[in-house]
Structure 1
Amino acid sequence: MIALTVNGERHTLDIDPSTPLLYALRNQLQLHGAKYGCGLGQCGACTVIVEGEPVFSCLMPVAAIGERRVITIEGLGTADKPGPLQRAFIDKQAAQCGYCIAGMVMRAQALLDRTPSPTEDEIRAHMEPNLCRCGTHMRIIAAIVSAASSSTQAAGRA
């Protein structure tokens, strides 16, 4: 039995400890935001946040998670109430086919959680491991800049 805390909810799963986190999320927990892209940790479509760090869930065995908290795209908002970063991706039309977007959002969220006002160079360097085959990188960068700007303005009003 493997215990995982995903999006704030504790789950006990009867799966092989070597099972990749991606498969546990998709098959056991029915969280389909993280996608199988390459299975090699080279594309980022499967990116989730584990205790504040973006990880390729296709490479991470569930046994390696331990007590660390996992956040998936489903933990950031819903279709009816998207989170601030999700809203920025929508507003900037950062998705073309949409396959990579959950991973992009999760990697960007990890950055914004750690660095609320990153420079464009910091954004580019942080986002480099994730690939968009449709070529919407410029819109993705614009969405992250917009979300960072919005959160900085909101913090100034508080």
Structure 2
Amino acid sequence: MKLENGVADISASLPSKTLITLKVNGTEKQMEIAPWTTLLDALREYLDLTGTKKGCDHGQCGACTILVDGKRINSCLTLAIMKDDAEVTTIEGLAQGEVLHPLQQAFIEHDAFQCGYCTPGQICSAVGLMAEGRAETADDIRELMSGNICRCGAYPNIVAAIQEVIQTGERKAEQ
């Protein structure tokens, strides 16, 4: 390690690129990335999956929410290298061909978006929320979705869309 003006120069010891593998929306992808690349930037810049949005880039708005191994995370706060070999699902991976995911369809039917910028993160977060199985009431949904901000204020419709899909899923399970 070389000192220059009393400051340690560690850049020479850092690898410039690292090869990682992610299973993204069901397809294995390999990328050679800088170790400091966020998962959000890897998805958008290396894989051209631009549905996941960069909102605040500080983990405060939820626009970048995706699913990693079935759990919702803020991709702007996660280094891609930390998720090597993980299964990643973005908004682009929720539909089955031309058939929308039930939450995508419910968002349309309930007009649960206005500008649409937060919608991919809202939907991915809601998919994760449903998998957690802790949302039983509208208040539960509001609390568990509180990490996803909608600047347009479509919250009542977002909650209604999520409630409908949860209730429909419960009815299907009972049959």
Bin for the TM-score computed over the shorter chain: over 0.9
Backbone CA RMSD of aligned residues: 1.5
Residue 25 of structure 2 corresponds to 7
Partner amino acid, structure 2, of 1:82: L
Residue 143 of structure 2 corresponds to 125
Structure of greater Rg: 2
Partner amino acid, structure 2, of 1:154: K
Query: Among the aligned pairs, what percent are the same residue?
Result: 43
Q: CA deviation at 1:151?
A: 1.2
From 87, 91, 99, the counterpart of 2:117: 99
Partner amino acid, structure 2, of 1:43: C
Instruction: Return 5+ residue gaps in structure 2 as ranges.
Output: 1-18
Q: CA deviation at 1:104?
A: 0.4
What's the TM-score once normalised by structure 1's chain length?
Answer: 0.93
Partner amino acid, structure 2, of 1:38: C
Deviates more, 1:44-53 or 1:71-80: 71-80
**Higher relative contact order (Cα pairs below 8 Å, separated by 6+ residues):** 1
Mapped pair 1:143 → 2:174: no
**Structural mapping, 1:50-69, within 5 Å:** 50-69=68-87
Instruction: Return 5+ residue gaps in structure 1 as ranges.
Output: none
CA distance in 2, matches of 1:118, 1:63: 35
CA distance in 2, matches of 1:38, 1:74: 21
More strand by share: 2
Moved over 4 A (4+): none
**Structural mapping, 1:39-118, within 5 Å:** 39-77=57-95, 80-115=98-133, 118=136
CA distance in 2, matches of 1:141, 1:19: 33
Q: CA deviation at 1:52?
A: 2.1
Deviations 1:101-136 (A, max 9, x none): 000001110011221863222211110011000000
From 30, 41, 44, the counterpart of 1:26: 44
